[in-house]
Chains A and B, each alone.
Chain A
Amino acid sequence: MKRSRLSQAALLGMGGLLAACGSLGSISDLEGTIVIDGSSTVYPIMEAVVEEFSKKFPNVDVSIGFSGTGGGFAQFVQGNTDLSNASRPIKTSEATLAQTNGINYHEFLLAYDGITVVVAKNNTWLTDITLAELRALWLPAGDNPATTDIVETNVPPTKWNQVRSTWPDATIQLYGPGTSSGTFDFFTEVITGKVGNSRTDYQPSEDDNVLVQGVAASQYALGYFGYAYYIENTDSLNEVGIKANDSAPAIYPTLETIADGTYTPLSRPLYTYLNTDKFANNEALREFMLFMIDHVKELTDEVGYVSLPETNYESYRSILEDLA
């Protein structure tokens, strides 16, 4: 999600190649089929796991789709898939459907996704921003609704003091991910209420380094991208605290606030749901889950999400043993 899909693929390919070299001796001839579907946000993690897994188990046929969290669950509660990735917990309605269809499942928390709003290191005036201000900043022309009392017109603000009167009378410079990025989808959905709904007069790039450089070079610039990239560039960037409203405290993204859910709404947990009956009867699926527990932390970090403490993943091992 933080890199373009191309470079992500290249990276995964490279990792896969290395893994293949390292594990040539341990290729298994286990055969089987695994069907995965669900959230496109979780997809990069799961795809990385599948790619690694296939090096070791070339005869296991793994299909992985990304029809979205809801679309994935629709299949999962019918018993059509083994694993369903989700960027939200299963809904009561979906759980009820599973129950009527006799589908038993278990929820596994895989990682957290947190988006960081950043400004340049030398920007001393922008330390926090309210959700309403972020919304006013990023809504496209003609779409600023009456609910926003900050911007009365239908035109996105061009000067900082139009967003908050104490901010300077200087031109706003915006940086953000390109439209093919999952970060773009998530951010636009949370901030402007609709996936892909964004003003277009900002500097887009699929390469987060381009965004880092652009924001770092001007105190009138603001950008957003995955938390991992902010952590790599703390010497040139400041993170912006997010305030739910004018009087709420500013919450800064940290591993803790992202993990415990206080950094809201720009963070969310990422899950995968396992069909436990299929798990008990499918040896390939059992191998896959064990493989995932061993590698998901490292691959999560690699694709740019916030991983859980090692002990969390380890605790899944005994859960799986009970389920087998």
Chain B
Amino acid sequence: MKILPKKSNGSESSASQKHRLAVSRLETLVPILLIALATIVIMISIGLVLSLIFNTYRFFSLVSLLEFFTSKEWTPLFATPRYGVYPLVVGTILVVAGALTIAVPIGLVTAIFLSEYAPSWLAKTLKPILEILSGIPTIVYGFFAIRVITPFIQALIPETQFYNAASASIAMGFMIVPIVTSLSQDALTSVPEQLRTGGYALGLTKWEVTKGIVFPSARSGVSAAIILAVSRAIGETMIVAIAAGSQPSASWNPFESVMTLTGYIALVSQSDAPEGTTAYYALYAVGLLLFLITLTLNLIGRRFIRRKTGNVNV
């Protein structure tokens, strides 16, 4: 306890007594401090959710639930505003589905390689490098999308719009590969070694063991990896705000401009939707919908992870 001032004239016993007193005071203080700080974090979360709920409630006092969920047009800022969330949902699904088509095969193959085939020194080197990918700021992926991916797509399909769902999908796919790989590899690695050796004892080849024993055993961990990646992709904003456009269309064509749930929030919070207007409250309704979707996915993902741990313990 160097922070305690040493008194030169005090006896040693009184000094250690003081020390003990200070320590016990600290011991009672620390939990209070920690509880206070933890409470702040919880209060922030509660506050956020409450503000989402209250403002969404105000939105639905202006616009009917029926309009929100059944109308096929989303034009809150125009002369004749419509508030059908459907085009935003289509845009989101289109981009996320595209991202998964890229990320799931690449991510799983990489995970299988790292867990089953790569020598351990190689796996130990490759995994951190792969995880760096998830540390790249998403704005860089967005820029990469409009500067590299979009021109490439346009060279192949000339009618492609400059801002399009496909380009954002591909960039987002690259972004979530590490999530899929990392979690799936953990699941594959934690499959007990006895299962593999048992397979070999039956005369199976390495690929047969991987395909028939290891992968099925790790299935719930792999599902969790994919679900968490989906959740991450749905919430991703920067890539879609830069590359996917801002045209809420209910079209499933990936080469056209779309608008995602997050894209709408990003766009409108920057332009002027004055407080008190319906377009302003629509931000919260979209935000709450987004929150509920990602919350549900995260809960499902966690369930899968827990089930996986259960399997291993048995």
B257 touches A203 (CB 8 A): yes
Give B230 Cβ to nearest chain A Cβ, in Å: 27
Give B219 Cβ to nearest chain A Cβ, in Å: 42
Q: Mark A193-222, 1 if CB is under 8 A from B, else 0.
A: 011111011111110001001111111110
Interface presence of B78 (CB below 8 A): yes
A201 touches B161 (CB 8 A): no
Interface presence of A171 (CB below 8 A): yes
Interface presence of B92 (CB below 8 A): no
A218 touches B154 (CB 8 A): yes
Interface presence of A27 (CB below 8 A): no
B77 touches A179 (CB 8 A): yes
B247 touches A202 (CB 8 A): yes
Task: Give A1-46 interface residues, CB cut-off 8 Å to B.
Answer: 4-6
Interface presence of B132 (CB below 8 A): no
A140 touches B80 (CB 8 A): yes
**Interface residues of chain A: helix, strand, loop or mixed (majority):** loop
Interface presence of B175 (CB below 8 A): no
Closest to A198 in B: B78
Interface presence of A290 (CB below 8 A): no
**Interface residues of chain B: helix, strand, loop or mixed (majority):** loop
Q: How large is the interface on A (under 10, 10 to 19, 20 to 34, 35 or more residues)?
A: 20 to 34
Give A174 Cβ to nearest chain B Cβ, in Å: 9
Interface presence of B122 (CB below 8 A): no
Q: Which residues of A contact B146 (CB under 8 A)?
A: 213
Q: Which residues of B contact A202 (CB under 8 A)?
A: 247
* Docked complex Cα distance between A278 and B127 (Å): 77
Give A50 Cβ to nearest chain B Cβ, in Å: 20
* Docked complex Cα distance between A217 and B154 (Å): 8
Partner of A221, one of B77, B151, B162: B162
Contact A173/B73 with A178-B271, A206-B270 known, Cβ cut-off 8 Å? no
Give B239 Cβ to nearest chain A Cβ, in Å: 15
Closest to A120 in B: B162
Chain B interface, number of residues (Cβ within 8 angstroms)? 25
Interface presence of B136 (CB below 8 A): no
A4 touches B272 (CB 8 A): yes
Contact A6/B270 with A203-B245, A203-B257, A221-B162 known, Cβ cut-off 8 Å? yes
B159 touches A217 (CB 8 A): no
Interface centre among A170, A178, A215 (most CB of B within 10 A): A178
Task: Give A136-193 interface residues, CB cut-off 8 Å to B.
Answer: 140, 170-171, 173, 178-180
Task: Give B71-86 interface residues, CB cut-off 8 Å to A.
Answer: 73, 75, 77-80
Q: Which residues of A contact B271 (CB under 8 A)?
A: 4, 6, 178, 180, 206
Interface centre among B158, B160, B163 (most CB of A within 10 A): B163
Q: Which residues of B contact A203 (CB under 8 A)?
A: 161, 163, 245-247, 257
Contact A218/B272 with A200-B75, A200-B78, A203-B247 known, Cβ cut-off 8 Å? no
Q: List 21 A-B contacts (CB under 8 A).
A: A6-B270, A6-B272, A140-B80, A171-B159, A178-B77, A179-B78, A195-B79, A198-B78, A198-B79, A201-B247, A201-B249, A202-B247, A203-B245, A203-B247, A203-B257, A204-B77, A205-B246, A206-B271, A210-B163, A214-B245, A217-B162
Q: A171-B159, A206-B270, A216-B162 are in contact. List 18 more A-B contacts (CB 8 A).
A: A4-B271, A5-B272, A140-B80, A179-B78, A197-B79, A200-B75, A202-B247, A204-B247, A206-B271, A213-B146, A214-B161, A215-B162, A217-B151, A218-B154, A218-B160, A218-B162, A219-B158, A220-B159
